[in-house]
Structure formats: C-alpha cells, structure tokens
Chains A and B, each alone.
Chain A
Amino acid sequence: AQSVTQLDSHVSVSEGTPVLLRCNYSSSYSPSLFWYVQHPNKGLQLLLKYTSAATLVKGINGFEAEFKKSETSFHLTKPSAHMSDAAEYFCVVPGGTSYGKLTFGQGTILTVHP
C-alpha cells in the first residue's frame, strides 16, 4: 500500500530564511508524488508534481522538491520564505488500488514570522 509521512506537524521560520518541509513515502513502485498547499478556509492548490521525468521538480511560488528514491523522500524546499507562504502543506501519493485515489499526509502547518 502507498502511504506518506510528513515528519513535522508544525514548522516555524523567519521571513527571508529557507523553508524545509519533510515527507517520506512508502510505495511498491516508483510513484507519482504531489505537494499541495492550503491557505486557511480555502481549497487545496497544487504546488508541484513528480512524475519520474526529473528528480528535481520546480513548482509555483519558488518552491521545489527533490525525489530521492534511496531515501524514499520528497522534501519541499524554498530558499527564502515570504509571509504569504504561511499555510498548511500536504504531501500526497496515489492510493494505488482505487482508481484516482490520493493518500494525503497529515499536513505541515508553516508559520512565517516577520
């Protein structure tokens, strides 16, 4: 079965400093992987998607993630945090058995301090 573990439920950074949100996955094959962002009381927005074309994936708003098969990780990074990055972030892997099903991590709440 496919699953994801987000290693931090909360991450706090200062504006202008790097962001690292950690995600490990478990999959019986090389999966697709997604990062979504959710601002308070809003729907989810796709940040980036890995599809095995390239291990370093660039997304919107300066975010990127690197797929490391040997470490089964797909950590999300950004060189310099902005106040508008404060939100909840979800690492997501396809469910595998059910068509189209996505399995969501528990989420990481990112707080950005001035």
Chain B
Amino acid sequence: DGGITQSPKYLFRKEGQNVTLSCEQNLNHDAMYWYRQDPGQGLRLIYYSQIVNDFQKGDIAEGYSVSREKKESFPLTVTSAQKNPTAFYLCASSIGTGGRVADTQYFGPGTRLTVL
C-alpha cells in the first residue's frame, strides 16, 4: 500500500524540550512538505524539500528544523525556540515535476502536538 505515514499520532512535550515528528513516504516522490494547522487558519507551510539533501524555508520556519537525508523520509524537529508549538502538523509529498501545472500533494494523517 502506497502512502504517507506520520508518527506519533499524538505527542506531548514539556516546555523547553525539542521533539521530532516523523514523516515517511513510499510513493517515490521527490518533493516533501511540512505544514502547521491551527483552527480557523488553514494550513501554513513550514519547510519543503524538492530533492534529497536540499530543503527550503516556508512561511513560518522559525523555531523548526528539518533534514532530508533519504528520499522517503523528512523529519521535522520542533525546537524550544518555537514559542507556540501546540498545533496539528501535516506532512505531504508530491511527484515534483516542477512544471507549470502544480503537482498534487498527498497528505499524511497528521501529528497533534501539545505542549504541557
């Protein structure tokens, strides 16, 4: 079964701790993305990666870090510098053709992070 998996589904963190959210895809997609979702605000792009060993900041990258060492994996670390990390985090991937027509992005089931 092809798809995107995210783990854990729920994550609790104490203030001052870094946590890492996992995202894995077996769709053989080149591009991967991390979004943050808050109620009533739609989705906002944190980081994206077009290819292995390369990634770019999105609109709200402060307090987050990523790596892309393997094509199928794009973990997100929420650092203690992120002032308001409680949110629903969604990972997505797309083929990454770079053409004029935007690629469809396929989403994982999400991780809900709560800071205690």
Chain A residues within CB distance 8 Å of chain B: 9, 31-32, 34, 36, 41-46, 49, 51-52, 90, 94-95, 98-102, 104-107
Contact = CB atoms under 8 A, between A and B. Distances in A.
B48 A104 contact: no
B7 interface: no
Prevailing SS type, chain A contact patch: loop
Contacts of A102: 43, 45, 102, 105
Contact of A46 (B42, B43, B104): B104
Given A104-B43, A106-B42, A99 B101 contact: no
A42 B112 CA distance: 10
Interface residues of B, number: 31
B42 A45 contact: no
Given A49-B104, A106-B41, A107-B42, A99 B109 contact: no
B50 A100 contact: yes
B33 interface: yes
Given A43-B6, A106-B42, 10 more contacts: A9-B40, A32-B101, A44-B43, A45-B107, A46-B104, A90-B43, A99-B56, A100-B103, A101-B58, A107-B40
